A and B are shown apart, each in its own frame.
Chain A
Amino acid sequence: MNKTILFLVILTGISAQLPANMIGLLINKSITFNREEATKSILIYGDEDDAKLMNSMVKGELVSIDDFEGTQEYVNLIFVGISDGDIENAKKKCGKVLSISNSDENSDVVALSFGLLDNKRPKILVNLAIAKKEADFKSAFLKIAKIKDD
């Protein structure tokens, strides 16, 4: 049993994450490239502290995963500290939304997710199969990771 716990701890340790405020900035930048304008952003959280920090940038609505009842509006649905399964269930309660996660471990179930590269720069992942259904990104979005002095 102890070994199983150790294994899970190691797995958790491996998944490095970008700071919440940095993800907030990247989300703001990303959504400007979407031609389909969302009415608002909803941050669905498992981790309230991270969600609050991220929301200081995003300026959306904070909802706990347990309280989320779905939406039929086109919104930016931002998952903070949520598992794949819970994200899938939350999306089932919604109409068309743009799904975003603060963790690259959710890249299978959201259009856009963020992580941290070895060199501590942001990792920006786009699930193109999901993104085609959820957004209409401008071509410049492909260069979102470009830094001016690159």
Chain B
Amino acid sequence: MMKSFLLFGFVCILCAQEIPAKKLSSLILKTAYFNKINNDKYYIVQKSETAYSKELAKLLNAKVLDYNGFSGIKEYANVVFVDLSDKEIKQAKKASSKILTFSNKVENISVVSVVFGLQRPSKKIQIIANLSESKDEADFRSVFLKIAQRRK
């Protein structure tokens, strides 16, 4: 029994590959650029500071907010939820006005507009847009559909 759970945990860890902070920041900047609703404000919402979230904040020049004691964001901004659960993200969104939401975890795709991850086992960049959320949060230019396109 214990072995099955350990194996399951191991498989989960293997599946969940985190996208490097540098790549994530560049994709978020690119996504924000494709949003017709102009804004250059970036927030990171996290529960605890990690080397990853610190690097991401630096790259995005983002204001870092702690989830514990979070009282919402009252201006239109690009908000990156780092290592939060769906439930926590939903709560944070409820407390905020209109924002464009991102997550570093593909598993959060039900509650944010765009998530980024790495495909397994190829480690290719994975970008998934939730069109049901993004219609309320952004007004993307058509080129957003080609965000994964490499320059020739």
Is B148 interfacial (CB 8 A cutoff)? yes
**Contact yes or no, B130 A123, CB < 8 A:** yes
Is A74 interfacial (CB 8 A cutoff)? no
Tell me whether A127 and B132 are in contact in the complex, defined as CB-CB below 8 angstroms, given that A104-B110, A132-B149, A139-B141 are known contacts.
Answer: no
**Contact yes or no, B145 A137, CB < 8 A:** yes
Tell me whether A104 and B109 are in contact in the complex, defined as CB-CB below 8 angstroms, given that A4-B1, A128-B145, A137-B145 are known contacts.
Answer: yes
Chain A residue with minimal CB distance to B117? A108
Is B134 interfacial (CB 8 A cutoff)? yes
Q: What residues on B are CB-neighbors of A128 within 8 Å?
A: 127-129, 144-148
Chain B residue with minimal CB distance to A30? B131
Q: What residues on A are CB-neighbors of B127 within 8 Å?
A: 127-129
Chain B residue with minimal CB distance to A138? B142
Is B135 interfacial (CB 8 A cutoff)? yes
The total number of A-B Cβ pairs within 8 Å is: 80
* A interface residues, how many (CB within 8 angstroms): 29
Tell me whether A125 and B126 are in contact in the complex, defined as CB-CB below 8 angstroms, given that A107-B109, A139-B142 are known contacts.
Answer: no
Tell me whether A142 and B126 are in contact in the complex, defined as CB-CB below 8 angstroms, given that A4-B1, A150-B135 are known contacts.
Answer: no
**Contact yes or no, B128 A125, CB < 8 A:** yes
B134 partner, pick from A108, A117, A127, A142, beta carbons under 8 A: A142
Contact with B along A116-132 (1 / 0, CB 8 A): 01000111111111011
A117 to B142 CA separation, bound complex (whole angstroms): 25
Q: What residues on B are CB-neighbors of A115 within 8 Å?
A: 110
**Contact yes or no, A107 B128, CB < 8 A:** yes
B135 partner, pick from A1, A3, A4, A145, beta carbons under 8 A: A145
A131 partner, pick from B4, B130, B145, beta carbons under 8 A: B145
The 8 closest A-B pairs by CB, nearest first: A139-B142, A129-B148, A128-B127, A145-B132, A124-B131, A145-B131, A145-B135, A128-B148
Which A positions have Cβ atoms within 8 angstroms of B? 1, 3-4, 104, 107-108, 115, 117, 121-129, 131-132, 137-139, 141-146, 150
Which B positions have Cβ atoms within 8 angstroms of A? 1, 4, 106, 109-110, 119-120, 124-132, 134-136, 140-142, 144-149
Cβ contacts A to B, 30 pairs, < 8 Å: A1-B1, A3-B1, A4-B1, A4-B4, A107-B128, A115-B110, A117-B110, A117-B132, A121-B132, A124-B130, A124-B131, A125-B109, A125-B131, A126-B128, A126-B131, A126-B145, A128-B145, A129-B124, A129-B126, A131-B145, A132-B146, A138-B142, A142-B134, A142-B135, A142-B144, A142-B145, A143-B131, A143-B135, A145-B134, A146-B135
